[in-house]
Amino acid sequence: MAPDTKERWKREVGWLLSVTDLIVEFVPTRQTAENGTTMEIMSTAQRRDLAMNIPALRKLDAMLIGYMDNFVDQTEFWYEKGGDNKRDDDKWWMPTVKVPSEGLSDVTRKWLQYQKECVNQVLKAAMAINAQVLVEMEIPEIYIESLPKKGKTSLGDAIYRSITEETFDPLEFLAGMDLSTEHKVLDLKNRIEASTVIWKRKMQTKDSKSSWSSIVSFEKREQFEERAETILHLLKLQFPGTPQSQLDISKIQYNRDVGYALLESYSRVLESLAYSVMSRIEDVLSADAAAQNLTASEAARRALESTSAELPAARKLDAKEELEKLNEAPASMTLFDFMGWHFDQDELMKRREDGTLDADGEAMLLKKAPSMAPKKFSYVDSLSSGGMRSPSARH
């Protein structure tokens, strides 16, 4: 936030909240008179909800501005707008985030995650205060007159059947609903809020009846109302940026309480600002993730190219050349060659001419390979030779 914008922000917030000091209520206090007697009188004090929520909202405001000031000296990411840098997503009006080609450093990435968590805490606190103020606001009659007479009509058969079953799980209920668009989320929120108002009014009008059937119906309606409020709470947490429902708009539009108006508007502005800051942080983290994926894919491609360059080039084979190599290759060795059962004819002739070969040596060189006919054994031979007898130690 620029310095002049920050000063204007603080000045306008001060103007907005200056009225809250004059919104008072009577509270009983004890006062001691001059003669020593103690008496109880009514004095004025700031309204209790304002005394609790205004300081809390001011603290959230200061924290949010401090978080934004932490980004002043950041140089690892920047914004570019116009030309080829125009965004083509749902945030087309915002500038495009730019990060280094290799992505953000680990320190900056962790710091951004921490800042996002801090801003998210501010967002949740502002949402809680805003929701509480809207609950305390009075429902205008014009909204009540526009509702159907039965909660089932507002919800529809499918949603009503899911909420009124014996076993109910709000997470499974939301998982089974089509919440793909903001319009569908808002439509579900409007239906459930309308049914909640209908059930509350019926419980208030029939509270005086004491018949057993009325008591059972009262308990059922109270249970259905609690389930519907649980769904609304989960919707607010899961979709914080959803626009306000018809009930909230009617309450804000027809509200006549200045204190509620101040609390609701201030908390809603802080909620919107916190959501914008967190969205900007998410844009930076998304750009960093895209840069990291691009860097990883580029590194993998370069590694593949370097590996391919180191491999020898494929050579085309020549059929004629390969046939000549095959003819020049030595004959394959036989089993007798491996076992050494052969004689060297050249060696025999050479030793005859030299006279160094006697009769025994010539007979050794010309000796035939030993016969390897397998020996046959019979059962009778084994008996005759004394085999197959029991050991003598056993007898």
Pair 130, 264 in one domain: yes
pLDDT tens profile 96-108: 888 888 888 899 9
Could you give the CA distance from residue 233 to residue 132 in angstroms, rounded to a whole number?
A: 12
Residue 274 and residue 236 in one domain:
no
- Answer yes or no: do 203 and 186 share one domain: yes
Please say if the pLDDT value at position 332 is more than 50: no
Q: How far apart are CA 350 and CA 364, in angstroms?
A: 16
CB proximity list for 112: less than 8 A, separation 6 or greater:
104, 281, 284, 285
Task: Please tell me the least confidently modeled range out of 74-88, 109-123, 255-269.
Answer: 74-88
Torsion sign across C-alpha atoms 161, 183, 187, 175: positive
Q: What is the pLDDT of residue 353?
A: 60
Helix (H) or strand (E) holding 150: none
Same domain, 114 and 20: yes
170 belongs to a structural domain: yes
User: How many domains is the chain partitioned into structurally?
Assistant: 2
Same domain, 39 and 92: yes
Q: Does 186 map to a domain? A: yes
For 221-269, write each residue's pLDDT tens digit.
788 889 999 999 899 888 877 888 999 999 999 999 999 999 999 999 9
- Residue 100 sits in the same domain as residue 69: yes
Mark whether 81 and 212 lie in a shared domain: no
- CATH number reported for the structural domain that contains residue 158 in this entry: 1.20.58.1310
For 360, which DSSP code? H
> Could you write out the DSSP letters of every residue in 251-269?
HHHT---HHHHHHHHHHHH
Residue 121 belongs to a domain: yes
Final residue of a domain: which of 192, 226, 254?
A: 254
pLDDT score for 308: 53
Phi-psi region of 26 (alpha: psi -120 to 50; beta: other; left: phi over 0): beta
Whether 36 is covered by a domain: the verdict is: yes
- 373 inside domain: no
Q: Which two tokens stand for residue 276?
A: 């914008």
**Domain range spanning residue 248?**
141-254
**CATH number, position 124:** 1.20.58.2010
Instruction: Write down the pLDDT at residue 394.
Output: 45
| Same domain (yes/no): 100, 21 | yes
The predicted model gives 84-107 an average pLDDT of 76
Query: Tokens representing 118?
Result: 């801090």
Per-residue pLDDT tens for 137-180? Answer: 999 999 999 999 888 898 999 999 998 888 889 999 999 999 99
* Residue 166: count of CB within 10 angstroms of its CB: 4
Instruction: Kindly report the average pLDDT of the chain as a whole number.
Output: 79
In a domain, 358, yes or no: no
User: Looking at the structure, do residues 127 and 166 belong to the same domain, yes or no?
Assistant: no
187 and 113 both lie in a single domain: no
Q: What is the pLDDT of residue 80?
A: 83
Per-residue confidence (pLDDT) for residue 55, from 0 to 100? 96
Task: For residues 206 and 296, state if they share a domain.
Answer: no
pLDDT at position 381 over 60: no
